[in-house]
Structure 1
Amino acid sequence: MPRITVKTNVFLNREKKYRMTLEFKEAIELIPCEKASFVMADFEDEAFMLFGDEAASDPCAAIEVAVIQDAIDKYDKEIFVQVLARMTETVMKYTQIPEDRIFAYYRNSPLWTYKRQDIIGTLVHV
């Protein structure tokens, strides 16, 4: 059962949450073993969040995705990067938060994206 959690410091009305969930379901279908009908999405909006050296009022978001752990090892990593990229685009679309203020990652996985790109490989090699 895929679970998607969006935490942000901006307000999200019920309609935006619903539409985002529909788009998340489409994105999750890119993973061969996951089904949109089992997606659970939860939203924590208007949270106190800080990003870097910016003020607490500057908009930002984090997207956490929980999927079947074996799937991350079984399928091509690019599929999972693409899923996070699409989810980032969805959050950008409904919140107007720029991509450089959004992190997306898989729970219990070293796969994190920033600006819709895998960043762990870059950070580890610095």
Structure 2
Amino acid sequence: MPSIQTKVNIPISKEQETKLKTKFGKAIELLPGKSERWLMLTFEDNCRMWFQGNDEPATALVDVKLFGKASAEDYEKLTSALTQSLEEVLGISPARTYVRYEEVQYWGWNGSNF
């Protein structure tokens, strides 16, 4: 039950969103026991964002929420894959991207909790 929420300060076309969906779906498999089958994604484009004192060039904030835990090594691999995907698809430098992780103890779905 992971979710990845991505905010960027540039537009995302439907084609780019689909490419990111595919790449993020593959990347989540870097975390043991996780797959695209349970992955929820959100993309917010054209956000007003400031980083390092300016609002350009392109910038991204990625929030990854995970039911359970993963190792620091696994998170390192996922950060690399996510930032590489954003660079390939949207041209956002990894140096202009933050990735935040949150391990969640309780996760609800279908009227109850896991």
TM over 0.5: same fold?
A: yes
Give me the TM-score of the superposition, normalised by structure 1: 0.76
For 1:102 and 1:61, locate their aligned partners in 2 and report how far apart those are by CA, in whole Å: 5
Counterpart residue number, 2:12: 12
Count of residues paired in the alignment: 104
Counterpart residue number, 1:71: 69
Give me the TM-score of the superposition, normalised by structure 2: 0.84
- Of Structure 1 and Structure 2, the greater strand share is in 2
Shift of 1:7: 0.3
Matched position secondary structure for 2:47 = coil
Counterpart residue number, 1:123: none
For 2:94 and 2:30, locate their aligned partners in 1 and report how far apart those are by CA, in whole Å: 21
Shift of 1:53: 1.4
Shift of 1:84: 1.4
Residues 41-75 of structure 1 show CA distances to partners (whole Å, capped at 9, x for unaligned) of 11010000000112x2431111111111x323xxx
Matched position secondary structure for 1:4 = strand
1:27 correspondence with 2:27? yes
Counterpart residue number, 2:92: 97
Counterpart residue number, 1:59: 58
For 1:60 and 1:53, locate their aligned partners in 2 and report how far apart those are by CA, in whole Å: 12
Matched position secondary structure for 1:47 = coil
Structure 2 residue aligned with 1:84, among 79, 89, 106?
79
Structure 1 residue runs of 4+, over 2 Å off?
Answer: none
For 1:97 and 1:84, locate their aligned partners in 2 and report how far apart those are by CA, in whole Å: 14
Counterpart residue number, 2:36: 36
For 2:31 and 2:58, locate their aligned partners in 1 and report how far apart those are by CA, in whole Å: 29
CA contact (8 A) 1:84 1:105 kept: no
For 2:76 and 2:62, locate their aligned partners in 1 and report how far apart those are by CA, in whole Å: 13
Shift of 1:3: 0.7
Shift of 1:108: 5.3
- Mind listing any 5+ residue stretches in structure 1 that lack a counterpart? 110-126
CA contact (8 A) 2:83 2:93 kept: no
